[in-house]
Structure 1
Amino acid sequence: MTASYEKHDSPALRKARGAFFTPPPIARFISSWAIRHPSDRILEPSMGDAEFLVHAVERLQSLGRSSPEVFGSELHAWSAERGKQRVAERGGTALVDIGDFFAREDPCPFDAVIGNPPYIRFQDFSGEQRTAAQAAALRGGVALTGLASAWAAFTVHATLKLAVGGRLGFVLPAEILTANYAAPVRRFIFDNFGDVELVLFEEKVFGEADTETVLLLASSFGQGATKNAKIRQVRNAASLTSMPPATVWTPEDPADRWSGATVNGPFRI
């Protein structure tokens, strides 16, 4: 297994496509938050080895659903097959589209979209890949500049996969809080969700990634806009089991930098 892993999906290959393994406590936390009913339809874009879908299956089973079906999208075929195997080992079935998430078409919306979008900096995000991403974001009314990293378009496109009342649970770089290119994404989130929560970390979540991490928990899609966000700050992934009370933060303009969400703690941006 180790030799096959190094050949097909080494750390260098994953980093080149912006893929980072999500710590199980984070995938478990987001899955438990996002999935509310045993009949929920779940999608994990850029699923990698399906860490979120594994926990989604366990969550659906805990709600009383036997042999759950979950959905995934993944560009890297070897990772997709590994993910399907992991889901099957947990008693579920992963229906995976192997290809570009921005080209994915779904006849039915999803109750929850969860995951960790690829983190590809604009310098490495170019050509047809960037063109497809910008077009997908524009379908959601979001015009992204050439400086936008891949996660921005992923967040918009994933949101458009939701059913009314659906939930989006994503692991995002802290660039969402302050980057100028993310301004239209920040406004899009406030305009399309009735409730928005951000979880900030004092410690780095991904040792191999040179960025801080934020959890975006957005719910009540298509049921009105929100004017504020709930902010929670925890030490690390293990601390998600004992969340502190939320602070309600209201920006003057959702498109402005969200640095006001971090002023009372040691979170670094």
Structure 2
Amino acid sequence: MDSETFSAAPSGAKAKRLGAYYTPEPVVEFMIRWAIQDAHYKIIDPSFGNGQFLRASARQTKVKLLNPSEQIYGIELDSDTFNANKPLLESQFKIHKLENQDFFAADSFFLSEFNKVSPLEEFEAVVGNPPFIRYQRFKGKARELALKRAAEHGISLPGHASSWAPFLIHAISLIKNGGRIAMIIPVELSYATYAKDILAYLLDQFKNLSLLSFQKRLFPKLAEDTYILLGENRGLPCSKFQLVDVQNEERLSHFDGQLDSVGEVKTLNREACSNLKSHKVKLLEFSLNRACRNLYQSFRERAQTADFSVTFLGEVMDIGIGYVSGDNAFFHPDQATIEAFGIEQEFLTPCLRRSNNLRGLYYSKEDWENSLEPQKWLLHIDQTLDIHALPKGLRKYLNWGLKSGILKRYKVKKRSPWYALSNIKIGDAFLTYMSHDAPRLVQNVSGLPAPNTLHVASLKKSGQDALDCKLLLIAWYTSLCFLSSEIEGHSLGAGMLKLEPNEARNIIVVIPRHLSQEEIEDTYSRIDVALRKNNLELALNLGDESILCHGLGLSQETCLTLREAYYKLRDRRKYR
């Protein structure tokens, strides 16, 4: 039976709500071929959607199940999806052990089938593509139950964890000792703070682990990139961890039982597994060759000691998000709106709205004046001012906002008074939050604030002066710093690099203290010119020469190694 006979994936708002993005068929077939190793296996998909993993299990020919109707199980939360697919799964594939239920609340189903509940440990294989629901929509009793389930298995997850995390942990509890898991998971596993404990849990649960990453995205419409997780021989700590770089989903059809038949395999030894488990290294570092990985690790070790020439950005700068308006259009009126309502100038503050206005190594009032940004004024009202005491033009604008439903905005509604923004900080520099080629650190000589589309960075108060700030600015534009940004940040849809404040704090920077003021000023000026000409390559060459070669004594060859590693990670992120 062709898959088109079955219900298609939910689309639009419903797909987003359910986190339902169904898996390409070559991926499904590969995962089932890998997972089912014996005709007696019991297999379950705890979120079966349109049943593609269940169907693939039933029609598997490499290892044909003896009695699919007694060996294949499926759970599906969404009633519409369940009811649309259940009849054909039963009639065409003889799959009857199906339950319309929240996976986390399916104890009654398991009790009726196995006379026991969690930890079940009754299946030889668990497969599937769990829902990817962000914490903003993963809430209420559903989240409480999911987090409770994870806690039952020894993993305490924070409230902001996405749905896949407790789903994966609970799914593992279904597997017998010696059993397998084949599951799609987001690359959040490699960077989210809470995911560190999940990775450590996986390393404790499976003797052999493999993560398959793809040069071409499996789910182009999904903002999050994904891995295929393969775990085998549950019940023993990990002794072999493989990272498999796969060109595209079509390569999976070449699977011959060995993972090197579908992609390039890197095998991590016990020490590497231990370092991952203890959070000493990040998964992405293993995309680099051994020499470069060791080089990067040596810089991290220097940054962790009292070597003041190599440090983490968070040691020398405070980094936080810009102000939160709750409604950028309303709180950043354009000139036409200002004139139409007669908003008084004393309540308007110039601001930097967008990162694409950052051209050089510094941002000045002149840059602001020459900007073509139409909404570059911030409505700035003191918190102590009552709305009735405000002048006519501003009051008219605020009343218009009330009539237009401004208080429907959550961030606006919870603020008191709603029209007065807080946390408006003036930093020493701006740091881009989302970046295409590389994150930009730009000196704020304008004295302007910025919204939460940018990070605000300020030198820590330890004697730094304007010259120190310029030194730090040129130190940012090095191959090491850009490589560190790729490792510490994470990739989103459209190939963008996202840097959360805690990720930015971990970026390694080199700050040599013996450079002359003349060299600092000269390099600063030349990098600024290069950036304003959109020549990032030249800016990096200048930074490497001054900071890494002259300042730290690295060879040109070492700089080239770092540069090539940065390019590798950047290009993999951008061109997927």
TM-score w.r.t. the length of structure 1 is: 0.90
- Among 137, 156, 181, the alignment partner of 1:143 is 156
Which residue of structure 2 aligns with residue 211 of structure 1? 224
Alignment CA distance shift 1:112-1:76 (3 Å): same
1:219 & 1:42 partners in 2: Cα distance? 14
Which residue of structure 2 aligns with residue 92 of structure 1? 94
Which residue of structure 1 aligns with residue 407 of structure 2? none
TM alignment of 1:58-77, pairs within 5 A: 58-59=59-60, 62-65=62-65, 68-69=68-69, 70-77=72-79
Given that residues 175 and 182 in structure 1 are in contact (C-alpha distance below 8 angstroms), is that contact kept between their aligned partners in structure 2? yes
1:87 & 1:74 partners in 2: Cα distance? 13
Which residue of structure 1 aligns with residue 32 of structure 2? 31
Gaps of 5+ in 1: none
2:76 & 2:248 partners in 1: Cα distance? 27
1:235 shift after superposition: 1.5
2:247 & 2:91 partners in 1: Cα distance? 32
Which residue of structure 2 aligns with residue 167 of structure 1? 180
Which residue of structure 1 aligns with residue 265 of structure 2? 246
- Among 78, 81, 97, the alignment partner of 1:79 is 81
Is 1:236 aligned with 2:248? yes
Name the aligned partner's letter for residue 156 of structure 2: A
1:21 shift after superposition: 1.1
- Among 203, 206, 209, the alignment partner of 1:190 is 203
1:114-156 deviations in Å (ceiling 9; x for gaps): 0001001111111111111111111111110112100000110
2:51 & 2:68 partners in 1: Cα distance? 14
Is 1:134 aligned with 2:147? yes
Name the aligned partner's letter for residue 34 of structure 2: W
Alignment CA distance shift 1:66-1:191 (3 Å): closer
Name the Cα RMSD after superposition: 2.3
What SS class does the counterpart of residue 285 from structure 2 fall into? helix
Alignment CA distance shift 1:123-1:35 (3 Å): same
Alignment CA distance shift 1:215-1:65 (3 Å): closer
Sequence identity (%): 28
Is 1:259 aligned with 2:284? yes
Given that residues 74 and 80 in structure 1 are in contact (C-alpha distance below 8 angstroms), is that contact kept between their aligned partners in structure 2? yes
Name the aligned partner's letter for residue 138 of structure 2: F
The structure with the larger Rg is 2
Given that residues 39 and 65 in structure 2 are in contact (C-alpha distance below 8 angstroms), is that contact kept between their aligned partners in structure 1? yes
2:203 & 2:62 partners in 1: Cα distance? 31
1:46 shift after superposition: 1.1
Moved over 4 A (4+): 264-267
Which residue of structure 2 aligns with residue 15 of structure 1? 16
1:61-99 deviations in Å (ceiling 9; x for gaps): 553445512111111122123333443465331411111
How many residue pairs get aligned? The number is 264
Given that residues 33 and 62 in structure 2 are in contact (C-alpha distance below 8 angstroms), is that contact kept between their aligned partners in structure 1? no
2:96 & 2:250 partners in 1: Cα distance? 27
1:209-255 deviations in Å (ceiling 9; x for gaps): 10111000001011x10144101111211111231342112241325
TM-score w.r.t. the length of structure 2 is: 0.43
Between stretches 228-237 and 20-29, larger displacement belongs to 228-237
Given that residues 57 and 90 in structure 1 are in contact (C-alpha distance below 8 angstroms), is that contact kept between their aligned partners in structure 2? no
Which residue of structure 1 aligns with residue 559 of structure 2? none
Is 1:225 aligned with 2:237? yes
